[in-house]
Structure 1
Amino acid sequence: MLLERFYDDDLAQASYLIGCQATGEAIVVDPRRDVQVYLDAVSKHGMRIVAVTETHIHADYLSGTRELARATDAAIYVSGEGGLDWQYGFDAHLLYDGDVVTVGNIRVQARHTPGHTPEHLAFLVTDGAFADEPGYMLSGDFVFVGDLGRPDLLDEAAGGKDTRFQGASDLFDSLRNVFLELPDHVQIHPAHGAGSACGKALGAIASSTVGYERLHAWWGPYLAADDRAGFVSELLEGQPDAHAYFARMKKENRDGPAVLGPLDELAEITAAHALAMLSAGGAVFVDTREPNEVRAGSLPGALAIPAVGKTAAWGAWAIDPEREKRPLVVLAHDRAQAEDVRAHLLRVGIDSYAGYLTSLAGLPTVTSATVTPESLADLDDAFVLDVREASEYAAGHVPGAARIGAGRVLWETDRLPTDRTIVTYCQSGARNIVASQALRRAGIPVIELSGSYLGWVRARQQIQTMSAS
C-alpha cells in the first residue's frame, strides 16, 4: 500500500493519496483545487486515480474533489450524513457510517464522526495485502495531533445559532464511540497541522496514533472521567478567529466549486497595458512583494498579497470574489512566481486573472501612510485598530486599541469611524499591509503603525530604559 501526504504550508492543510501497488488503483482524500500535484504523483508511481473523496464540507479552502474527478474520470464519494441541511449539491456517491470504498486490495471505511461539522466522516484504512483490520485513520478535522476540530464554525461562519454546544457534545460522543474504540496502534493522519484556524492548539507533527492521543491529548482526562460539561467548556474556550471568507467556502464546497480544467499560462503584460486596464477600472492590481517594498511605493488602489507565508489566506482576506468580478493583474518577480501565486489563490476561489508584470517602471506609485510609535500620541483622537487574533490582543495591545481581525475587517467596515484618523497594526507588519491596503482600496484611508505592535513594544522599552538611566 502507498500512503502519501501532500501538505500545503499556506493553509496548513493535508491531503492524501492511498494506492494499491498490486492493481495500480488509487484514491485521493481531501484534495486541494490545483490538482496537478496528484496527477504527477500517480504518474510517478504508475497508478491511476479511480476515486476521490473528502471528509466533510470544508470552510478554510476550496475543495478539489470535482476538479480532480473531472481530470481523471474518477468516481466521487462524499458524506450523506448530517441531515438535510448538510447534503452536497452535486452528483456523487453518498457514504454513510460503515460504508466501504474498495481500491484494489485496500478497504477505506467511512465512519460518521460529527462534531466539527454534522456530516463529518473519518476514514479507516485497511491494507488487505497485510492485515484484516484497519491500521490507519484519515481523521479529517475530527482528531488532530494534540487537538480536536473546532465545533463553532457553523456559528462563526455559516450563520448558525448556538450550534457550537451541540457540536461539542457530538464530538465528545464521536471520540467515545468511534475513536477510543480503535486499537492503540492505529495511525492518525489529520487534515490540518499547526497554523490552521480549524483548531486552537494543533501540533506540528504530521501524524500520531490512537494510543498516543488517548494518553497525552488535552481531552483524554475529560473522556476518562466522563466529564462532558468540562470537555465542552474547555473545547469552546479560546478558539481563534473564524475568517469571514469561511462562509463563502462552506457554501461553494457544499454546492460544488467551479471546475476550471487545464489552465493557460499567465500572460506577461506591459506597464502601458496594465495602466490602461487599471485606469479603465477593468482589473485589480495585486502587489505580491514584501510588505516594506509595498509601503515604499505601489500603485494607487493596489492590494497587497505577499508571495510568502499565507498567500491563499491573505488573498481571501483582501478579495471577495462574490463582490469583486474583475480579473487580477499580478506583480511578481517572474512568471514562475506569478503562477505560484495564482495556484495558491485558486485554493480559495480567486479564479480570474488578466496577466502579470515584473516591474512598476513607468507606472505611478504612492507610498503608504505610516506613523512611528513615538508620534502616535501626537495624532489627535486617533482610532487605533489591532488586526491580530483575539489571543494576541489579550496578551498585550496598544492602550485603547479596538480589535477586528485581519480576516474580518473588510467585512466589518461599519465598525470603523468616518470622522477619526484610523491607525492599524498587527504583530510585525505582514498582516497589517494586507488589511491596510484592502481598506484603502475600499475607500477607507488608514495609517499604519511603523513596526506594528513589536515596534511599539520596542519603543516603550527604549523610553523606559532612558527614564531609568
Structure 2
Amino acid sequence: MLLRYFYDERLAHASYLVGCQATGEAIVVDPMRNIQPYLQVADQEGLRIVGALETHIHADFVTGSRELAAKLDSTLYLSDEGDQDWKYQNLESVNHKLLKDRDTFKIGNLLFEVMHTPGHTPESISFLLTDKGGSADKPMGMFTGDFVFVGDVGRPDLLEKAAGMKGTSEDGAKQMFRSLKKFRNLPDYLQVWPAHGAGSACGKALGAIPSTTVGYEKQFNWALQIEDEQIFIQTLLEGQPEPPKYFAVMKSVNKIGPKLLQENPELSRINSNQELSELIQSGRQVLDTRDADSFADGHLPGTINIPFNKSFTNWAGWLIDYHKPLYILISSEDVLDELMISLHSVGIDYIVGYGLIGQFLEGNSSLESYVNVTPTEVYEQIKNKEVYLVDVRNRSEWNDGHIDGAQHIMLGTLPDRRNEILTDKPIIVQCGSGVRSAIGASILQANGMKNVYNLLGGYTRWVRDIKE
C-alpha cells in the first residue's frame, strides 16, 4: 500500500493519495481542485487513479473530484447520508457511487468502510482503511475529513452562519456529541488522517501536526474530555471564528458540482496605463498582490491590496466579489500560475486580466500611499478622539480586549460595512499585528477614504507600549 499526503498551506487543507501497488490502482481522498500533484505522483509510482473520495460537501475549497473524473473517467465516492438539503446534485454525467453508514468498497486490495459521522455537516462520513493485501483483518487508520482533527473537532455552526440555515448549530453540536461516542469505541492504535490543519476556519483550535491516533485524541482532544452533552454543546459553539462569507458559495458549488477549470475565461494581459486606468474608473475589481509595505509606499488609486502570502486565499475569498470580473497586478510573471491556482481553489474563476505592476508605477504622478504609525506616535490623538479608530480583528479577539473608542468591523465584512464609518477625521485601521489592518487600509482608500493610517503592531503592540 502507498499513502501520500498533500497539504495546501494557504487553505490548511490536507488530501491523500492511497494506492494499491499490487493492482496499480489508487484513489484520492478530499482532492484539491488542482489535480496536477496527484497525477504527477501517480505517474511516478506507476499507479492509475480510479476514484475520488469526499468526506462531505466542503465549504472552504472547491473540490477536484470532478476534474479527476473528467480527465481520468474516475469514480466519485460520495455521501448519501443527511436529508435532502445535503445530497449531491448533477451526477448524471459522472461515474459515482453513493455511500451510507457501514457500506464497504475495495480499491485493489484496499478495503474502505464508511462510518457516518455527522456534526460538522449532516452528510459527513469517515473512511476506515484496511490493507487486505497482507494479513491485516482490521483497519489501520481512518480519513476523518472535518469530523476529528488533531486536538479539535469540526465546527457545527457553518450551516447557520455561512449557509443561512437557521437553528442548525445546536442540532449539529448534538450530532457531533453522538458521533464522538462512536469515535471513542474505535481502537486506540487507529491512525487519524484529517482534512485540515492549523489555520483552517473549520474548527477553532486545530493542531499543526498532520496526523494523530484515536488513542491520543481520547487522551488530549478537549472535545473528548466532556461527558455532559449540554456542556459539550455550549463549549463547542462558543468562540468559533467568523466563517468566511465565501463558505456559502463553496457549499453550493460543491453540492451542485463545480465547472471544470478549462471552462474559465481566457486570461489577457493589460499592457497600458490608459487601459488599466479605464478599468479602474469603470469600477472593475483590480487586486494588487504586492507586499503591504510596497503597496503603502505607492499604489494606483482604486486598487485593493491582498499580499500573496500564506493568508492570501482566505482573504481573497472574503473580499473579492465573485460576480464581478477580476484583474490582478503582480510583481513577476513567475507567480502567476501559483496565484491563479490559489484563486481557483476557492472558486474565484472570473479572472479576466493581469498586469505587471512595475510598468504602471514608474513615473506615475497619480499614485496614492498611506502611512504606518506606531501606538506611541498616535496615542494622544486616539486618547483625545482626534482620530477615528477601526478595529478589524475577529469578534473573539475584540471580546478579549480592545482600545477604548474603537469601532469594531471585522476585516472580511469591511467592504459591506464601510458606509458605517461616518467621519471627517483621519482614520486609523488596527488589527492584532498590523497585517490585516493594512488590507483594511487599502479597502478604505479604494473606496474614497483617503486620510487613512495603519497601526503598526496592532493591538499587541498597543498593549506592550501603552501603559494605561
Contact 1:314–1:431 (CA<8 Å) still a contact in 2? no
AA aligned opposite 1:343: I
Aligned to 1:375: 378
Give the match for residue 177 of structure 2.
172
The equivalent position to 1:196 in structure 2, one of 200, 208, 212, is 200
Q: Deviations over 1:326-365 (max 9, x none)?
A: 2313222x22212211111111111213133151325442
Instruction: Give how far 1:268 is off.
Output: 5.3
Tell me the CA shift for residue 89 of structure 1.
2.0
User: Within 5 A, what are the aligned runs for 1:55-204?
Assistant: 55-91=55-91, 92-130=96-134, 131-177=136-182, 179-204=183-208
Aligned identity (percent) is: 44
The Cα shift of 1:192 comes to 0.7
Counterpart among 345, 364, 367 of residue 365 in structure 1: 367
Amino acid of the structure 2 residue aligned with 1:341: L
Partner of 2:316: 315
- Paired residue for 1:349? 347
Number of residues of Structure 1 aligned to a counterpart in Structure 2: 455
Q: 1:381 to 1:161 in 2, by over 3 A?
A: farther
Letter in 2 for 1:348: V
> How far 1:115 moved relative to its partner?
0.2
SS at match of 1:193: coil
Q: Give, in whole Å, the separation in 2 of the partners of 1:23 and 1:362.
A: 63
Distance of 1:431 and 1:398 partners within structure 2: 16
Q: Which amino acid aligns with 2:348?
A: I
Residue 270 of structure 1: aligned partner = 271
**Displacement of 1:176 after TM fit?**
0.8
Match of 1:219 in 2: 223
Over the aligned positions, Cα root-mean-square deviation in angstroms equals 2.4
Q: How far off is 1:42 after superposition? A: 1.0
Which residue does the alignment assign to 1:261? 262
Q: Which residue of 2 aligns with 1:22?
A: 22
1:456 aligns to what? 462
Unaligned runs of 5+ in 2: none
* Separation in structure 2 between the aligned mates of residue 389 and residue 282 of structure 1, nearest angstrom: 29
Work out whether residues 445 and 452 of structure 2, in 8 Å CA contact, stay in contact via their aligned partners in 1: no
1:103-152: CA deviations, max 9, x gaps? 11111222111000011111111111121221110000000011100111
Give the Cα–Cα distance (whole angstroms) in 1 for the partners of residues 68 and 231 of structure 2. Answer: 42
CA contact (8 A) 1:266 1:335 kept: no
Question: How far did residue 235 of structure 1 move?
Answer: 1.2
Describe the SS at the equivalent of 1:171: helix
State the TM-score, normalizing by the size of structure 2: 0.90
Which is further off, 360-369 or 114-123?
360-369
Aligned match of 1:337: 335
Contact 2:374 2:455 survives alignment (8 Å): yes
1:206 to 210, 213, 234: 210
Cα distance change on mapping 1:262 and 1:186 into 2, 3 Å: farther
TM normalised by structure 1 equals 0.90
Residues 113 and 386 (structure 1), Cα distance of their counterparts in 2 relative to 1, 3 Å cut = same
The amino acid across from 2:4 in the alignment is: E
Q: Check whether the contact 1:284–1:327 (CA below 8 A) recurs between aligned residues.
A: yes
Residue in 2 that maps onto 1:467:
none
Task: Give per-residue Cα distances to partners, 1:135-171, cap 9 Å, x unaligned.
Answer: 1100000000111001111111110222111111101
Q: Which residue of 2 aligns with 1:13?
A: 13
CA shift for structure 1 position 242: 1.4
Cα distance in structure 1, aligned partners of 2:431 and 2:14: 27
Distance (whole Å) between structure 2 residues aligned to residue 436 and residue 247 of structure 1: 26
d(CA) in 2 for partners of 1:231, 1:129:
41
The one-letter code sitting in structure 2 at the alignment partner of 1:347 is: S
Between 252-261 and 117-126, the greater mean CA deviation after superposition: 252-261
- Give unpaired runs (5+ residues) of structure 1: 465-469
Q: Tell me how far apart the structure 2 counterparts of residues 138 and 96 of structure 1 sit (CA, whole Å).
A: 15
Deviations 1:217-239 (A, max 9, x none): 1123324xxx1112111111211
Deviation at 1:437, TM superposition (A): 2.0
Aligned counterparts of 2:24 and 2:263: Cα–Cα separation in 1: 24
**8 Å CA contact 2:289, 2:328 repeated in 1:** no
How far apart are residue 71 of structure 1 and its match? 2.2
Query: Contact between 2:428 and 2:455, CA under 8 Å: does it hold in 1?
Result: no
Whether the 8 Å CA contact 2:3–2:17 is kept in 1: the answer is: yes
Residues in 2 aligned to 1:311 and 1:273: alpha-carbon distance in whole angstroms: 28
